[in-house]
Each structure stands twice: as C-alpha cells, then as structure tokens.
A and B are shown apart, each in its own frame.
Chain A
C-alpha cells in the first residue's frame, strides 16, 4: 500500500475508525437496496457500493465543523460524515421526520449539523458552492475546510473548470475530491475524458493534483491528510482523483450493458471491505470479535433507523407552500 512520504501514518484507532465508517456505509447501502427490492422504498438509487474508502478516510480527518457538498451518488459521503441515520431513512422514504421533511429526497439530503451542506442532482454543481463555503471560512478566520465530492464525469463540465480556477486564484480552503469510478453514467472514462488522469487537470489551475488508489485506505489517508492540512493551513486547494469502482452501475436496476461481465467481476473481486478487514486483524489493530461487535452495533442502528423512517408520517400537502420562501405562501 502506497504512502506519501511526508504524511504521518494513521494510528490504529484511526484505521479502525475508517473501517467503522466503511462498514456503516456498506451495511446501510445493503439495507437500502434490499428495502427498494422489497418495494418498501420507492426512489431513484445511485448506489456507491465499492466507493466506501474515499469518504471514510477523508471523514476520519474532518471535524464536525468541516463541510461537504456532495452529489446524487453521495449517501456514502453523508454516512461517512456521521449523518444520523434516522432522519436519513425518513428522508429517503419521503417522510416528515426526514432531514428535509421529505421534500428533498435521496438526491438532496441536507444536514448542516453534520456538515452536509448541499447534495445536488446536477453533475458538477457541488464545486462552485463548496468554494463559497470555503470563502466564508476565510472571512470567519476559521480553519475549517470544505470538500466538494464529484464523479469523473463532472470533470468535463464547465463548473469544474470555473471552480478550480476561482479556488486557486482566491486560495480557498477547499478540496476537490473526484471519485473516479471509471464511468460517466454509461460512458467509459476514456470515451469522454481527454486525459489519462483527471489529476493532471490540476496543473492547468495551479494547484496540486494527485491520483490515488481510492480503494486503499493507507494511500487515501496519506493523500487526504496532505490535502486537508494544506487547506487548513491556508495554502489553498487540492484536486484528488480517487480511483474506484461502483458495484451497482449508474442507477440501481441498470443492466450494465456498457461493460463485460468479466470486467465487472474482476473489479468486484477487489472489494476493499474484506481486504481491509483482514489487514486490520493481521496487523493486530483489531480482532475478528471486536469488528463483529462493531458491525452488530451498526446493523442495529440501521435497523432502528429503517423502522423509524418507514413509520414516520407522510408530509402534509401544506408543505408545498412552506420553505419556498422564509415566509409561507398564502393558501
């Protein structure tokens, strides 16, 4: 596993914390997919199964005060940032106890208390807004950082280029985290992107850019540590390209006809979860029993959240007149 030379190695506690976030993402994703298949949840679902390491590692280095802007494939980013699962489940079920009172749904989950500021369904749009949050941190004299998560496809939209340029000119405490899963919706990376590594685009905007194995927690930790430290110290933005794979296609139910079965099977065989778990135990950072107990606690949390969310009441139609503006629109 690769390490950047000047980043400190993660402590055993940090490594276990990264694993905790990964397993919480994975178990939650599994529960969402099962609930959709049972017909108990009706929602468009963009599973991030396979991409757990990226936000788990970055979140392990973030404080509650740090902010993220994420995208429609972003529930893993929120769970990694320790968003409480009860309001998450109520929101994806479209219920009043949801983070957004059932008015945003899975593509617009928002929870400022956890630092989840914006979730967008528009490719590339997390980045311009993340810049503003970072500008505010500078104005506040705060050391908080903001992460903009996006996919490889988003590096081809204008907002990416405008945002990297502005962040660099203004030296903003922001980290642009590209979760490169190899496909922009159904289009293979090389059929839509002009460079072999998205990180190369950082050169054009005068900021550091790194390509990292996004399935390797140690490599991710080193890169995340460097980028977050740089932002906190007022040295400006970084572009991280984290290479990974999405196990369930673009949207749940898509038939993956844009790749071969062999290719998909080979990518899934590199699932970072069991590999990291085995490594943690081999290194003596955790035991099978301690990780099993951790998983059981997380599964209980998810089961409770699921029951809570699905039992929460449906919103009143009066909600259509609320939150359009601060002042309610008259009936």
Chain B
C-alpha cells in the first residue's frame, strides 16, 4: 500500500481532490479558493478549479452569509458543497445561516430538507494573529443541535475525517487549527473515510485519561515523555469529533484509569471541557479516584504579544503539572 508524506493542509487538499473526483455532486466555494486567486490563502484548495472547472469550484466575494447561504441552497437541491470560511472568527458573520438555517432545516422541515454541507475553517493561536483571527469556537457549534463539529489533529485524520464530512448527510464544521497544520505524516493513498463521532486512542495507559482534540492533542503528546519518566501511565484520547463526542470511548477509558483531564485550546470558561467533565462525573462518580480536571485558555481574547500568546495556550508543562497533581 503506497503512502505519501504530507502535512495537514496537503491532506485537506488531497481529500478535496479525491471527493470531487469520486462524486460530481461535490462542489467547493469560498474566498480566494480558485486557482485564479491563488488556490486559497493556505493553498488548501490549490488545483481544484483547474482540474474540476470554475463551475464546481467558485471563488466568492468577501460575503460570508452569501457563501453559507449558497452552500445551503445548493445542498437543498442535491449537491454536497464544501464551503471555506477563511477563519473561524468570520463564521460569526455567517452565524444566522449556520445556526438558524443549516443546523435546523432538517428538523424544522420534519426531515424533508437535508443540508449536507461541510464548512472548512481555519483558526488557532500561535501565529500572533490576535483577537479576531484565532479563537477556537467549537463550543458555539457543539451547543447547536443539528451540526457536527470535527477537529482533527494530524494529517491522516484531516484527510479521513474530511472525506466523511463531505459525504455526511448533515452539516459539519471542520476545524483546521494552526498548531496542527505543519507536522507531516505518512497518509495512505487509499485511506478509507474515518467515521465521525469516533475517538482515537493515541497512547494506552492505566493511571490517567487525557481527553483532547485538534492542536491541543499535539501539546498533550509532548507531555507524554515527561509523564512516563515520572512513572505515570497516561491514556491519551484524541476525540477527533467534538460533537457528537465519543462518550463510550471516554467513559470506558476513565472507568479503567479513574482519573480524567480534559485539555483544549478553547477558552476554559463555559468551554466544551465542562460538558465532558460533568458527563464523566455524572456517570462514574463512585469510581473516580480524583476530581475531573479541565485545562483550557484563560477567560481572555486571544492576545497579540508573543509572551501573552504563549501564556494563553495550554502548554505541555501545564498538562504535566496537572496530571502529576492528580496522582499526588
């Protein structure tokens, strides 16, 4: 079986090429995405318009409501649109279309309408893009019934999960996060779509379960060696899909370890870690050896100054300290 070494953006590009080649109902739209405009600001859509034509791959004006609206309408007529909202903060401009329409049309129509759109969007701290270009807003979307929230951490999952989002009958938001974009890995050419809602065990262990997703998984992986040196056996779970989340896998792991830490790049205050922590506490109260802990960004906008940005992101050291404290 052949494989290619690629980073996560290249994996996105490969998934889009594959999905468009396999299904002519797959169409792509967004700002600057056609080759005439450079194939996307990150190059994620490079080559698509040349290969599949300007009708199926359309650059748009800077009009996020119009982008998502066009995706919804085309989906209602049988297409599988992949819309790019360049940065996750810009979803705020299209929130009516996403939240009131894409997510709800199936339910409000009693199942007559189906909105199989995928919204690809980039975000994440680390590039000093400050307060309006880097928020991890998965909690907003996870709180809305009717939309799936997918947040991969590595090139294989970027490709496999994006293929699943595109073919999924419901709207999906696919988060491409700065901290996870440029770490290459071997991605099989014939990779099968990775099912949504299924977590991946990154490392098995018996003392503590760490639950994470997106770029934060990488910072949790960096904590694994020092924790092993300290004699702590960590089970690291990459949730991959934030909503619907793999409750079964998480509860099975915490049943085994009796301790849980949830780490995410999103703000901790009212963040998605709260939902997971409370579910663990409700389901496994008698079996827990320590309180469930949550790690997330402080209650602050994403800052500009490097020293502040570094402090904003949950570091591998914080993960190590938190796990050690749980074991003490």
Q: Which residues of A line the B interface, CB within 8 A?
A: 67, 69, 98-104, 108, 110-112, 117-118, 120-122, 125, 127-140, 146, 158-159, 162-163, 165-166, 169-170, 322-326
Give Cα A69 to B170, complex, Å. Answer: 20
**Is there contact, CB below 8 Å, between B105 and A118?**
yes
Contact of B169 with A by CB under 8 A? yes
A125: min CB distance to chain B, Å: 6
- Provide 15 A-B residue pairs closer than 8 Å at the C-beta atoms, listed in order of the A residue: A110-B109, A112-B76, A112-B112, A125-B100, A128-B66, A131-B66, A135-B73, A135-B74, A136-B74, A137-B77, A159-B96, A163-B69, A170-B58, A323-B111, A325-B169
**Is there contact, CB below 8 Å, between A166 and B108?**
no
**Is there contact, CB below 8 Å, between A324 and B75?**
no
Name B107's contact: one of A118, A131, A323 (CB within 8 Å).
A323
**Is there contact, CB below 8 Å, between A165 and B66?**
yes
Q: Which residues of B line the A interface, CB within 8 A?
A: 27, 55-56, 58, 60-61, 63-66, 68-79, 81, 96-97, 100-101, 105-114, 145-146, 148, 169-170
Give Cα A131 to B68, complex, Å. Answer: 10
Give Cα A170 to B109, complex, Å. Answer: 28
Give Cα A163 to B74, complex, Å. Answer: 14
Give Cα A110 to B74, complex, Å. Answer: 16
Name A118's contact: one of B96, B101, B110 (CB within 8 Å).
B101
* Contacting residues, chain B, for A326 (C-beta < 8 A): 106, 114, 169-170
Give Cα A108 to B113, complex, Å. Answer: 11
Give Cα A68 to B121, complex, Å. Answer: 30
* Contacting residues, chain A, for B106 (C-beta < 8 A): 323-326
Question: A108-B108, A162-B61 known; A128 and B73 CB under 8 Å?
Answer: yes
Name B70's contact: one of A132, A137, A140, A325 (CB within 8 Å).
A132
Q: Select from chain A the residue with minimum beta-carbon distance to B73.
A: A132
Question: A120-B100, A132-B70, A135-B70 known; A323 and B77 CB under 8 Å?
Answer: no
Q: Select from chain B the residue with minimum beta-carbon distance to A102.
A: B110
Question: A112-B113, A136-B78, A326-B114 known; A159 and B27 CB under 8 Å?
Answer: no
Cβ-closest 6 pairs across A and B: A132-B73, A128-B69, A136-B77, A101-B110, A100-B110, A110-B109
A109: min CB distance to chain B, Å: 9
**Is there contact, CB below 8 Å, between B111 and A322?**
yes
A231: min CB distance to chain B, Å: 15
Given contacts A110-B110, A128-B97, A132-B76, 18 further A-B contacts (CB under 8 A): A100-B110, A102-B110, A103-B109, A103-B110, A111-B112, A117-B73, A125-B97, A128-B69, A129-B72, A129-B76, A131-B73, A133-B76, A136-B77, A138-B55, A163-B69, A166-B61, A324-B146, A325-B146
Question: A110-B113, A120-B101 known; A133 and B77 CB under 8 Å?
Answer: yes
Give Cα A135 to B72, complex, Å. Answer: 11
Name A132's contact: one of B64, B72, B107 (CB within 8 Å).
B72
* Contacting residues, chain A, for B68 (C-beta < 8 A): 128
Give Cα A134 to B77, complex, Å. Answer: 9
Name B113's contact: one of A118, A122, A324, A325 (CB within 8 Å).
A118
* Contacting residues, chain B, for A121 (C-beta < 8 A): 100
B179: min CB distance to chain A, Å: 29
Give Cα A136 to B107, complex, Å. Answer: 22
**Is there contact, CB below 8 Å, between B76 and A117?**
yes
**Is there contact, CB below 8 Å, between B65 and A133?**
no
* Contacting residues, chain A, for B170 (C-beta < 8 A): 325-326
Name B110's contact: one of A104, A130, A132, A166 (CB within 8 Å).
A104
Q: Considering residues A125, A133, A170, A325, which has the most beta carbons from chain B within 10 angstroms of its beta carbon? A: A325
Name A99's contact: one of B69, B74, B112 (CB within 8 Å).
B112
* Contacting residues, chain A, for B71 (C-beta < 8 A): 132
* Contacting residues, chain A, for B97 (C-beta < 8 A): 125, 128-129
Name B69's contact: one of A104, A132, A169 (CB within 8 Å).
A132
* Contacting residues, chain B, for A132 (C-beta < 8 A): 69-77, 81
Question: A136-B79, A324-B146, A325-B170 known; A110 and B108 CB under 8 Å?
Answer: yes
Give Cα A128 to B97, complex, Å. Answer: 8
* Contacting residues, chain A, for B105 (C-beta < 8 A): 110, 118
* Contacting residues, chain B, for A125 (C-beta < 8 A): 69, 96-97, 100-101
* Contacting residues, chain B, for A122 (C-beta < 8 A): 96, 100-101
Q: Select from chain B the residue with minimum beta-carbon distance to A165.
A: B61
Q: Select from chain B the residue with minimum beta-carbon distance to A168.
A: B61
B51: min CB distance to chain A, Å: 16
* Contacting residues, chain A, for B108 (C-beta < 8 A): 100, 103-104, 108, 110
B67: min CB distance to chain A, Å: 8
Q: Select from chain B the residue with minimum beta-carbon distance to A96.
A: B110
Q: Select from chain A the residue with minimum beta-carbon distance to B68.
A: A128
Q: Select from chain B the residue with minimum beta-carbon distance to A100.
A: B110
Give Cα A99 to B113, complex, Å. Answer: 11
Q: Considering residues B74, B109, B169, which has the most beta carbons from chain A within 10 angstroms of its beta carbon? A: B109
Name A139's contact: one of B56, B76, B96 (CB within 8 Å).
B56
B249: min CB distance to chain A, Å: 15
A78: min CB distance to chain B, Å: 13
Question: A112-B113, A162-B65 known; A134 and B100 CB under 8 Å?
Answer: no
Give Cα A118 to B169, complex, Å. Answer: 18
Q: Select from chain A the residue with minimum beta-carbon distance to B58.
A: A170
**Is there contact, CB below 8 Å, between A166 and B101?**
no
A76: min CB distance to chain B, Å: 20
Give Cα A122 to B94, complex, Å. Answer: 13
B97: min CB distance to chain A, Å: 6
**Is there contact, CB below 8 Å, between A140 and B110?**
no
Q: Select from chain B the residue with minimum beta-carbon distance to A98.
A: B110
Give Cα A166 to B68, complex, Å. Answer: 12
Give Cα A325 to B97, complex, Å. Answer: 17
* Contacting residues, chain A, for B63 (C-beta < 8 A): 162, 165-166
